[in-house]
């Protein structure tokens, strides 16, 4: 399977945690400031399958966006591969997202004017690590492994919800990032499609050493992951 290269660190090597949060706090400014997450300290290593759970409004997605450098903390910092990111420019944070982090959202968010293969190729074209032919070949191969070989040249609108979400997973993996951050990846899917997507994520962790951090409401699914972070009112709590 060539969804990605093996990213587990060699045995015995003392690698820094892939993602680390120190005193992470995010407050929305306004007349009445709203605290989304408060004083979060956590460490997530390579090859972990982590669930973030909690009631609605507890700050699950906010934490995920902070860990994924999509949002900037009010206080505290996020370290990627041991490197602090709070002083990074917007461009450098974007570069980190491009090469180190892959996002999957509750809705697929595929670009509707581009074909399935072209959607998967967008991050590759941005990173420019491969030639055009190799990008296309890699996109087709990845889509094939996700059971979408017949749909590579279709437009997203021609696919079912589950198929679109699998395309979104392929796109998140396009540049072979070590971490996938998923925000309710199965939230808009039926049970069969949800299970398919979960199995894909599981496989990424087990077979390819990827780190997957997924926000979910589904406690049963969370229980099948390796580790669970439970949030209440923006703070980590015991599940």
Q: Which is nearer to another protein, 53 or 175 (CB)?
A: 175
- Residue of 54, 123, 156, 234 that binds another protein (CB under 8 A): 123
Is 53 a binding residue for another protein by CB under 8 A? The answer is: no
Residue with tokens 């709070």: 86
Binding mask 1-40 for another protein (x = CB under 8 A): ----------------------------------------
Residue with tokens 């009010």: 74
Q: Which two tokens stand for residue 214?
A: 């997924």
Asked whether 19 and 189 are in contact (CB, 8 A), the reply is no
Q: What span, in angstroms and rounded, lies between the C-alpha atoms of 181 and 216?
A: 11
Binding mask 183-202 for another protein (x = CB under 8 A): xx--x---------------
- Residue of 38, 97, 138, 166 that binds another protein (CB under 8 A): 97
**Sheet of 75-80, strand order:** 34-44, 19-28, 75-80, 83-84
- Helices 161-172 & 191-208 angle (0-180, nearest 10): 20
Q: Where are the alpha helices (DSSP H) in the chain?
A: 60-67, 90-100, 116-127, 132-145, 161-172, 191-208, 219-223
Sole window of 42-50, 139-147, 180-188, 220-228 interacting with another protein (rule: CB under 8 A):
180-188
Q: Which is nearer to another protein, 22 or 109 (CB)?
A: 109
Asked whether 110 and 167 are in contact (CB, 8 A), the reply is yes
Count of residues engaged in binding another protein, rule: CB under 8 A = 31
Is 122 a binding residue for another protein by CB under 8 A? The answer is: yes
Residues with Cβ within 8 Å of 31's Cβ and at least 6 positions away in sequence, in order, are none
Q: Which SS3 state, helix, strand or coil, does residue 151 take?
A: helix
- Residue of 19, 37, 47, 65 that binds another protein (CB under 8 A): 65
- Residue of 1, 15, 34, 111 that binds another protein (CB under 8 A): 111
Is 127 a binding residue for another protein by CB under 8 A? The answer is: yes
Give the interface with another protein as residue ranges (CB under 8 A): 61-62, 65, 68, 70-71, 90-91, 94-95, 97-99, 103, 105-107, 109, 111, 113-114, 122-123, 125-127, 171, 175, 183-184, 187
């Amino acid at each position: 399977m060539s969804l990605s290269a093996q990213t587990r660190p060699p045995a015995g090597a003392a690698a820094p945690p892939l993602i680390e949060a120190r005193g992470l706090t995010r407050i929305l400014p306004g007349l009445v400031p709203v605290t989304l997450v408060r004083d979060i300290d956590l460490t997530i290593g390579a090859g972990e399958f982590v669930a973030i759970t909690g009631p609605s409004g507890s700050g699950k997605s906010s934490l995920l966006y902070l860990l994924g450098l999509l949002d900037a903390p009010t206080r505290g910092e996020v370290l990627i591969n041991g490197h602090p990111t709070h002083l990074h420019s917007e461009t450098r944070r974007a570069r980190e997202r491009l090469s180190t982090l892959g996002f999957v959202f509750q809705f697929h968010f595929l670009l509707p004017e581009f074909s399935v293969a072209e959607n998967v190729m967008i991050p590759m074209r941005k990173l420019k690590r491969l030639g055009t032919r190799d990008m296309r070949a890699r996109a087709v191969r990845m889509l094939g492994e996700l059971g979408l070989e017949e749909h590579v040249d279709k437009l997203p609108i021609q696919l079912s919800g589950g198929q679109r979400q699998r395309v979104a997973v392929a796109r998140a993996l396009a540049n072979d990032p070590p971490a996938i951050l998923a925000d309710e990846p199965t939230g808009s899917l039926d049970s069969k499609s949800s299970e398919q997507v979960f199995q894909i994520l599981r496989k990424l962790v087990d077979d390819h050493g990827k780190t997957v951090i997924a926000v979910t409401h589904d406690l049963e699914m969370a229980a099948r992951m390796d580790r669970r972070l439970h949030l209440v009112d923006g703070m980590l709590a015991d599940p």
